[in-house]
Amino acid sequence: MKIAIGTAQFGLNYGIANTTGSKPTIAEIKKIVKVASTNNIDTYDTAIAYGDSESVLGTLNLRDKKIITKLPALPNDVTNPYDWVLNEVNGSLDRLNGCSIYGLLLHRPEQLFQRGGDEILRALSDLKERNIVNKIGVSIYDADELENLFKLKDFDIIQAPFNIIDNKLFKSGWLHTLNKKNVEVHTRSAFLQGLLLMPPDNRPSYFDKWSGIWRVWTEWLNDNRLTALEACVSYAMSIKEIDKVIFGIDSAQQLMGILSARNTITPQKLPEWPHNVDSALTNPANWIVK
């Protein structure tokens, strides 16, 4: 199954569309896992920085699943980056309670070009060589990062944002290049942290400056008789070079809705966005939302 479960919500109050200010209960998470297993979903994406997400996964008997986790940025006070990586991975393995790590990614790959970067890369390679992790890779924000990263090493997994507004990974040609290199491509942010699903009245005023985009989006959905959920899910799922589409899940009902939407036919003519699509919109790290 091409769908993977994003678990930031399991450990954090995550996402601009999270208006309840709470995480799903353990009972609800178990329902999510049950729905996932029934539908042959075998991949869970987490990170050390996702609160207690790893510990939650460690209670769920996921030893036969593929767990992908991510290292945080190297703290300033660390004097031995190599040992720091090993200690962080050992901590993850303890929290995951017997689950092996299928993929170990860098949450901040730019640190490979900073202090200790060579030691971090050596540690990643050694962990793979020793079969402590199966695959190593990086989580990026922009396809422009990939050229320099692949000059350092041919990584096994790339995780990147990809959605109907931000499809730079495809347009840049990198999706095709990664596919030829047999690199696993995992995409996230199909809903742009829920922004693409939000009713206009709920959208924070920060996003008013892109009113032209929202107008085109609404008109295109209406013209094609699609819900925003159907359009976002089907578009990401339709790209054959993408191996896994990670959806952040906070309820079993939400997962069932995504499963229902995945076979929707994506119209051949996609929305034609106004020229003002930029990283201030596509990168949530740049949002200034009160």
CB 105 within 8 A of CB 128: no
CATH label of the domain that carries residue 193: 3.20.20.100
pLDDT of residue 17: 47
* Domain tally, the chain: 1
Q: Report the SS3 class of residue 127.
A: helix
Question: Does 224 fall in a domain?
Answer: no
Question: Does 12 fall in a domain?
Answer: yes
Question: Does 166 fall in a domain?
Answer: yes
Question: Does 213 fall in a domain?
Answer: no
Q: What is the pLDDT along the chain (290 residues), one digit of tens a residue?
A: 999 999 999 998 755 444 445 789 999 999 999 999 999 999 999 999 999 999 999 999 999 999 999 999 999 999 999 999 999 999 999 999 989 999 999 998 999 999 899 999 999 999 999 999 999 999 999 999 999 999 999 999 999 999 999 999 999 999 999 999 999 999 999 999 999 999 999 999 999 999 999 999 999 999 999 999 999 999 999 999 999 999 999 999 999 999 999 999 999 999 999 877 888 999 998 898 76
pLDDT of residue 14: 56
What residues contact 28, with CB distance under 8 A and at least 6 apart?
250, 251, 252
Burial of 225 (0-12, 13-18, 19+ CB in 10 A): exposed
CB 250 within 8 A of CB 129: no
Structural domain of 42 = 3-201+229-271
Question: Does 162 fall in a domain?
Answer: yes
- Supply the pTM of this predicted model: 0.94
Question: Does 210 fall in a domain?
Answer: no
Question: Does 9 fall in a domain?
Answer: yes
Question: Does 277 fall in a domain?
Answer: no
pLDDT of residue 288: 86
